Homo-oligomer: A and B are copies of this chain.
Amino acid sequence: MKAIQAALLGIGTVGGGTFEVLNRNSEEITRRAGRPIRIVTVADRNLEHARKVVRDRAQIIDDAFAATQDPQIDIVIELIGGTTVARDLVLSAIEHGKHVVTANKALLAKHGNEIFAAAQKKGVMVAFEAAVAGGIPVIKALREGLSANRIQWIAGIINGTTNFILTEMRNKGLSFAEALKQAQELGYAEADPTFDIEGVDAAHKATIMSAIAFGVPMQFERAHIEGISHLQSIDITYAEQLGYRIKLLGITKMREQGIELRVHPTLVEADQLLANVEGAMNAVLVQADAVGKTLYYGAGAGAEPTASAVIADLVDVTRLHTSDPEHRVPHLAFQPEEVRELPVLPIEETVSCYYLRLSVSDETGVLANVARILAEQGISIHGIRQIAAPAGATRTDVIVLTHETVEKQVNTALAAIEALPAVHGAAVRLRVEHL
């Protein structure tokens, strides 16, 4: 059968990996897809680098827009990243009737609604398995594998950089700054790591999973985002003593009043599989009504793992491109007319358990006051522990673990607790999830 012709936009790390894997495994992939899939055009501004990778195996151009308009191209693979030129390129490809495969989570989280609407109108597919959790086929699991279920919540380690840093902080007792430095030296963190360490990357991915799990539009602008740059080693230590590990989780939950969509460092019980996902690996845990809990684990980044997802999409698009658009897998898992406007709840309305660390004067009555204030806010205490103060110290740490509480009640209680004369400075507040 005639080969499917693809244009690859951007031959950086993932682009290079995609080109290599597609060539190396072309026989295997053709045996599966039923026809060859060929990258016939590579567009990159750095022609010299592109030539080094591609050699004479494809046409090399520097104008990516030419590829999106080329009548010979069936599928456009967008791997240049960013949300400006990438958006224009994807929309141009759709406008010209091309199917699109992209790994660009920022683009979809921010402009997915516009892009999917355009694709729907033109009857083309926009596939994005590589946008979440790299090589783990979790988009496919959510959209197709769990289609019988009401998905109730998702909690995922979906950023390898931060998971690597947290693993190093715990295993080696490093500070955040030390662990970040090490991650940068080893290539696990970029020179400007802001997007990763502040949770923005994880929020892009959580936004996408939220949309396809619940059949709602992308609502990135409403996501609550906390990173790990303010996380202190002492809280990792205390959490460990209490039987927890701290992970940066992307969480989305269906609640009666709306959807929760939040990224933050989270205490997870140490014997949970998710707590044992180490280093730069990713894992996504899904709770759904019929199947219960399922977990998907693997490499969340890197040239070839991400290429694996990009190429799986190429094979899917190749299989489905002859079918009528009404019988394809809908972009957001639900038929376009069935996507619903369910609001993301403000963080004050979300429900979680909490870990609170207070620095208090080592004197009687403090715990009683803290417990009273929590009770006044209707916050049920799971445990409260005063850390033994070193000899001669006048201050000590108190750790409170709460049962499930609405966040705004915690806010009110903490304001009152922080106003106590025996409580010094701001409390440290982390969320705890029982997964």
List A residues at the B interface (Cβ < 8 Å): 1, 17, 21-22, 24-25, 28-29, 31-34, 129, 134-137, 140-141, 143-150, 215, 271, 273, 276-277, 283, 288-299, 304-305, 307-312, 314-316, 319-324, 326-330, 333-335, 338
Are B319 and A322 in contact (CB-based, < 8 A)? no
Are A141 and B140 in contact (CB-based, < 8 A)? yes
Are A25 and B298 in contact (CB-based, < 8 A)? no
**Sampled A-B contacts (9; CB under 8 Å):** A29-B147, A135-B294, A140-B140, A140-B145, A273-B276, A291-B298, A291-B304, A291-B309, A294-B297
**Contacts A294-B298, A297-B297, A329-B319 given: A25-B307 contact, CB under 8 Å?**
no
Are B148 and A308 in contact (CB-based, < 8 A)? yes
Question: Which residues of chain B are near A150, meaning CB under 8 Å?
Answer: 25, 28
Are B29 and A290 in contact (CB-based, < 8 A)? no
Are A297 and B273 in contact (CB-based, < 8 A)? yes
Pick from B28, B29, B298, B335: contact of A293, CB below 8 A. B298
* Min C-beta distance of A78 to chain B, whole Å: 17
Q: How far is the CA of A323 from the CA of B305 in the complex (A)?
A: 30
Are B334 and A32 in contact (CB-based, < 8 A)? yes
Q: Which residue of B lies closest to A277 (CB)?
A: B273
Are A290 and B319 in contact (CB-based, < 8 A)? no
Q: How far is the CA of A144 from the CA of B1 in the complex (A)?
A: 20
Are A147 and B315 in contact (CB-based, < 8 A)? yes
**Contacts A25-B290, A296-B294, A308-B291 given: A316-B148 contact, CB under 8 Å?**
no
